[in-house]
C-alpha cells in the first residue's frame, strides 16, 4: 500500500535529557525505559513513544529541536513515492524490530519512517 498508518513517536532535543524525562514522568506520569523512551501501545501496529535526546546527533542533518517517527505499512512503497517526488532518503537501516528510513521535510524537520516487523514487540 505504501502509506503512513500511525505516529511512532516524537523525539525531542533536550539540553538536559534526564531533567526533561523526569518532568514528563512527574507531571504526566510517563514511565521511561532503560533505553530512554516512554512507550505507549498502539492498538494495531508498533508502538508510540516519546523520547528526549541529550546528544542530538541522531537528528542530523536537521537542526530542528524535534523529529517525527511515522509508522508505515510498506517502507519500499513510501520511499518509491518520495523518490517520485524528488526526495532522497538520508539513510536506511533494518533491525530485528523493523525497517527505518529518514527524510528531510521542506522545513528541515527530520522524518523517521518505521515499518515494524509483524512479529516485533508491540
In a domain, 122, yes or no: no
Q: Tens digit of pLDDT for each residue in 6-43?
A: 888 888 888 888 888 888 888 767 888 888 888 877 66
Please give the tally of structural domains in the chain: 1
Asked if 49 and 12 touch (Cβ cutoff 8 Å), the reply is: no
The pair phi, psi for residue 56, each rounded to 5°, is -85, 15
pTM of the model: 0.79
- State in Å, rounded, how far the first CA of the chain is from the last one: 21
> What SS3 state is found at 74?
coil
In a domain, 121, yes or no: no
Asked if 112 and 102 touch (Cβ cutoff 8 Å), the reply is: yes
The pLDDT assigned to 120 comes to 52
Q: Tens digit of pLDDT for each residue in 46-105?
A: 778 888 888 768 889 998 888 989 888 999 999 998 998 899 999 999 999 899 999 888
* Residue matched to cell numbers 511512532: 8
In a domain, 37, yes or no: yes
In a domain, 45, yes or no: yes
Which CATH number fits the domain that encloses residue 14?
Answer: 3.10.180.10
- Residue 12 is given by DSSP the state E
Q: Print the domain residue range for 9.
A: 4-116
In a domain, 32, yes or no: yes
d(CA 91, CA 94): 11
Amino acid at each position: 500500500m505504501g502509506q503512513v498508518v500511525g505516529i511512532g513517536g516524537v523525539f525531542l532535543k533536550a539540553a538536559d535529557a534526564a531533567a526533561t524525562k523526569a518532568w514528563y514522568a512527574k507531571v504526566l506520569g510517563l514511565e521511561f525505559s532503560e533505553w530512554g523512551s516512554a512507550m505507549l501501545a498502539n492498538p494495531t501496529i508498533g508502538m508510540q513513544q516519546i523520547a528526549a535526546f541529550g546528544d542530538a546527533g541522531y537528528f542530523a542533518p536537521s537542526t530542528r529541536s524535534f523529529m517525527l517517527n511515522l509508522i508505515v505499512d510498506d517502507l519500499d512503497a513510501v520511499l518509491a513515492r518520495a523518490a517520485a517526488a524528488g526526495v532522497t532518503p538520508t539513510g536506511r537501516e533494518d533491525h530485528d524490530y523493523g525497517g527505518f528510513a529518514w527524510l528531510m521535510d521542506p522545513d528541515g524537520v527530520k522524518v523517521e519512517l518505521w515499518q515494524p516487523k509483524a512479529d516485533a514487540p508491540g
